[in-house]
Structure 1
Amino acid sequence: MKAHLFSKMSQGLLLLSALLATSCKESSNNFFVPDHEAPSLVSVTPANGETAEENNTILLTFNEYVKAGEGKANFNGEEVELTFKGKTASYAYTALDYNQVCQFSLPKGAVIDFQGNVFEGVSIQFTIRERPQPEARIFDAVVSPDGKGNYTSIQKAIDNVPSKRTEPWLIFVANGTYEEQIIIPEDKPYIHLIGQDVDKTIVKLRINSSTEASATDPDVWKYSYKNLGKTEAAMVSVKATDFYAENISFVNGYGKELQKGPMALAMYTQNDRNSFNNCKFLSYQDTWQTGPKSDNGRLYAQNCWIEGAVDYFYGNGNCFLEHCTFYNMRDGAIIVAPSHKVGTRWGYVLNNCIVDGNELADTERVKLGRPWHNSPIAVYLNTIFNIKIAPEGWTDMGAIPQMFAEYNSKDKEGNTVDLSQRKTQYTYQDEQENPVTGICQAVLTAGEAARYTYENVVREGDNWDPKKYMEQISAPENLKRENGILSWDASKYAICYLVIANDETVQITKETSCNVEEGKTYQVKAVSEYGSLSEPLKE
């Protein structure tokens, strides 16, 4: 009993000491005295005038324990929240531009000690580092249908990619039509597939998902993946993380050429951190399925063309598409059919995209989407409608959407689209065929729309930044030909150059000159460290 009482007393004394330590300062003779002094800054990193990384943390270290007071820190013109821990206050920033000048300020009173004494504040300026010059190298593999590369098949090039990479493996695909199914296995991340020209670098195959013959349509079984001896129905299946494609058209010939169902996937992305730039995806029904392994797996696409008629962008995951065109191929086409599980944070976000279509689609019957299963989310932000869609915008399917909404929709003349008739009530039948109804928001406020950003949807969690893959470096300059030698000035940040004659890639070189033939017209493109191609420099 005495031991227990002594233990309780000891714990109480320790707690009292801790409390005193936060509100008093210890004198030289080990007595605590009231603290009336403001906290002082011991150090700040980055220091004023220093150079810093583009992803970093501003760390302020004080001479005593501190906490948040009144007022907010400001970073590059925006208020930010500090994280307090012991004697430090910090703010983590990401994705700043190279050479960017940054301003951080902490006003008086924003930081106090535990006695309430006010820190006077501080302002610093620092600069983000220059972009590093990557080491010169050529593509890891070249695919060309004429046999002048390492492979004539894209799949063969993928088969020979080393497993479990942590850095990009660059595959250049020359102009041509590659009639093959492509499967990128899960153990081969960081494949960057770079086409020469989006309209001339084409992956194409007639294949559909049917598992049995049709009594009325012989084409269904003829092009069934089962009849073709395939184990998977999608023309392209990406099972790995960190896949990137640029300048390639993915064409399911069954959907595109026959213009009918059943499901005929041109693309099936099945993992986290997949990205696409300047690509085309063409079919009819179910052109592109998104199905990441985790509910919040991410996909990012920029400047892409997605074409179809029935649920032609569908599935789950957090998918952020910018400056893409959704092209509708029939009257009454339906664009998206998401199936997001409860707990998905963002769903489908279509930002600054265009909704377009052929003459058949311009009849005010096209729908933005329908809820496939679970708790779907789809938002259209700043959309331009080149065709008139159905006034209700959405339609029923198999669930009540969590969010089917728009913000700042415009027609092709720039007029605000009337959203007053957009659908807000949904109905479906459950497994027992009982009707289920629910309500869903159809229009976002400016504040609500502002949450759906690249930083939130794409970069959240691990700072994944696929936009850096897509950043074009400057084209070469000063192209000239003398005595059978073509030369040019180096492009900053280039790892190598493509030399193209009459649409045919004739050389990939780390040098700034090469031997050429007479009678041909040449152009040169610079290649970034991620494989992305610059604009051409032409003769």
Structure 2
Amino acid sequence: MKAKAFIPSVSFLCFWVLLGLGTSGLLQSDDADNELGRYISWEDLSVAKDFRRERNLKHDNGVGQEYLAPAPSNDEDGSRVIVVEKNGRGDSVTVQGAVDMVPEGNSQRVKIFIQPGIYREKVIVPSTKPYISFIGHQSYVGKTVITWSDKASDRYTNGSEIGTFRTATVRVDSDFFCATAITIKNTVVAEPGEIGKQAAALRITGDKSMLYKVRVLGSQDTLNDESGSHYFLKCYIEGNVDFIFGNATSLYRDCYIRSTAEGIGSIAAHHRDAESENSGFSFVNCYIGGTGKVYLARAWGTHSRVVYSNCYMADVIKPSGWDDWEDKARDSEVLFGEYNCTGKGADRTGRVPWSKSLTQDDAKPFLGMKFISGDKWLRLKTSDNKNSQWSI
């Protein structure tokens, strides 16, 4: 995956499309001449109530709940809904099967409603299929799981290793993807420095994606936040080494970032290689906890950029805070900053001198939606972001 390993010492469905004009119900223009549908809203993260019917079942040990998977139909906002139910009562028994049902070049939102269950499969959302949502039930986030176990040292039939970038349980190459109330997991357990055990749960290369209350679980290289602009809101992300890595421009807000390291580990590894690249990871109002002693970030790229603002840091942060990938030349080029953070781990007494204690003015560009150009592709009412609590 990365040039330097971590060392502890340091379908088929028909969609009616108006041909020629290319205008669907979701892609008309509003009064401001903006194309509707070219953004993500809260409606893209929910399904109509008719799709969320439950019934109480009496079991020997009490009363439980079960989903009733309805026949496919259009959601109340006009988007298509495909139901995934592993027992065969939906439109597909697999998540990939549902993705395959979306037509190439679709121009309107397709919601894939995933019923509770463990889906043991690799899933790829190709770049030719934008506007896809993965939606679970908010009460069953931990019970709607997509899981796999590829690692970097696994081999193809020709004998070559698959490498880190092909290990992801879920890979999203499309634009305007969003997800909520699901768990994405890679079950490979890696110790820091263990060769070939890099194992991603999620890889995102598409642009303009939002994840809300999604759990991303793994150990080494859990989340490959590779490229594009992304918004992670109230997500739970765990791992031990470089478990958030890539060169995306991403805002992590109100997230629970949990280290599972037993010794030394690292949260982030950002791969910005030039001052002209407008990328970086910004963590705002996040909770940083777990085990071990971890770096806030390592400078995978020569101009790596990672900022933590208004975060609570438990006593899991290594006093030096940041790592330069054993390249002193990067010390003057990276932007590793902290602003208004609290907790024992936020004590900057022992920080490396080339990291920055930011002022409010310094931190301002990293605090809001402008950092990810969210005003151009997100339509979220701030009132819906009530109760800024870390997701668990």
- Alignment TM-score, normalising by the size of structure 1: 0.52
Aligned to 1:378: 306
1:355-434 aligned at under 5 Å gives the runs 355-358=288-291, 361=292, 365-397=293-325, 400=330, 401-411=333-343, 417-424=346-353
State whether residues 266 and 287 of structure 1, in contact with CA within 8 Å, keep that contact through their aligned partners in structure 2: yes
Mapped pair 1:184 → 2:97: no
The 5 Å alignment of 1:439-450 reads 440-450=354-364
2:87 corresponds to which of 146, 149, 162: 146
Tell me, yes or no, if structure 1 residue 464 matches structure 2 residue 392.
no
Is contact 1:208–1:225 with CA below 8 Å preserved after alignment? no
Is 1:340 aligned to 2:272, yes or no?
yes
Given that 1:225 and 1:233 are in contact with CA atoms closer than 8 Å, whether structure 2 keeps it comes out as no
Q: Which residue of 1 aligns with 2:244?
A: 313
Q: How far is the alpha carbon of 1:339 from its aligned partner? A: 0.6
- TM-superposed deviation, 1:341: 2.9
Deviation per residue, 1:208-232 (Å, 9 max, x gap): 111569xxxxxxx9xx9759xx993
1:68-147 equivalences under 5 Å are 135=76, 140-147=81-88
Distance 1:470 1:226 in 2: 44
Report the alpha carbon displacement of residue 456 of structure 1 after superposing the two structures with TM. Answer: 1.3
Instruction: Report the CA distance shift for 1:391/1:279 in structure 2 as closer, same or farther (over 3 A).
Output: same
Question: Displacement, 1:350?
Answer: 0.4
State the one-letter code of the partner of 2:217: L
1:422 counterpart letter in structure 2: R
SS in 1 for 2:303: coil
- State the 1:246 CA deviation: 0.4
Q: Secondary structure, in 3 states, of the residue corresponding to 2:323?
A: coil
Measured after TM superposition, the shift of residue 55 of structure 1 is 6.5
Paired with 1:449 and 1:265, the residues of 2 have a C-alpha distance of 30
Q: Which has the higher contact order (CA 8 A, sep 6+)?
A: 2
CA distance in 2: counterparts of 1:316 and 1:54, whole angstroms: 35
Q: Name the residue aligned to 1:121.
A: none
Contact 2:287–2:311 at 8 Å: present in 1 too?
Answer: yes
Do the aligned residues in 1 keep the contact of 2:253 with 2:283 (CA within 8 Å)? yes
Instruction: Give the equivalent residue in structure 2 for 1:206.
Output: 149
Distance 2:272 2:143 in 1: 35
Task: Give the equivalent residue in structure 2 for 1:44.
Answer: none
**3-state SS of the aligned residue for 2:244?**
strand
* Deviation readout 1:28-50 (Å, 9 max, x if unpaired): xxxxxxxxxxxxxxxxxxxxxxx
CA deviation profile, 1:424-466 (whole Å, cap 9, x unmatched): 3xxxxxxxxxxxxxxx442111111122133311236x61116
**How far apart, in 1, do the equivalents of 2:373 and 2:325 lie?**
31
8 Å CA contact retained: 1:381, 1:449: yes
- The answer for the alignment partner of 1:455 in structure 2 is 369
Could you say if the C-alpha distance between residues 452 and 240 of structure 1 is closer, same or farther in structure 2, counting changes exceeding 3 Å? same
Q: Match of 2:351, as an amino acid?
A: R
Deviates more, 1:147-156 or 1:166-175: 166-175
Query: What SS class does the counterpart of residue 97 from structure 2 fall into?
Result: helix
Equivalent residue in structure 1 for 2:218, among 283, 286, 292: 283
Deviation at 1:471, TM superposition (A): 4.7
Evaluate the alpha carbon distance shift between residue 354 and residue 247 of structure 1 in structure 2; reply closer, same or farther with a 3 A threshold: same
Distance, in Å, in 2 between the alignment partners of 1:356 and 1:391 is 14
1:267 aligns with 2:230: no
**1:46-97 deviation per Cα after TM superposition (whole angstroms, max 9, x unaligned):** xxxxxxx89799xxxxxxxxxxxxxxxxxxxxxxxxxxxxxxxxxxxxx9xx
Q: Distance in 2 between matches of 1:164 and 1:470?
A: 34
Cα 1:372/1:320, change in 2 over 3 Å: same
Taking structure 2 as the reference length, the TM-score comes to 0.71
TM superposition shift of 1:388: 3.7
Q: Where does structure 2 lack aligned partners over 5 or more consecutive residues?
A: 1-29, 35-39, 41-74, 387-392
Q: Secondary structure at the match of 1:163?
A: coil
Give me the whole-angstrom Cα distance separating, in 2, the residues matched to 1:173 and 1:375.
39
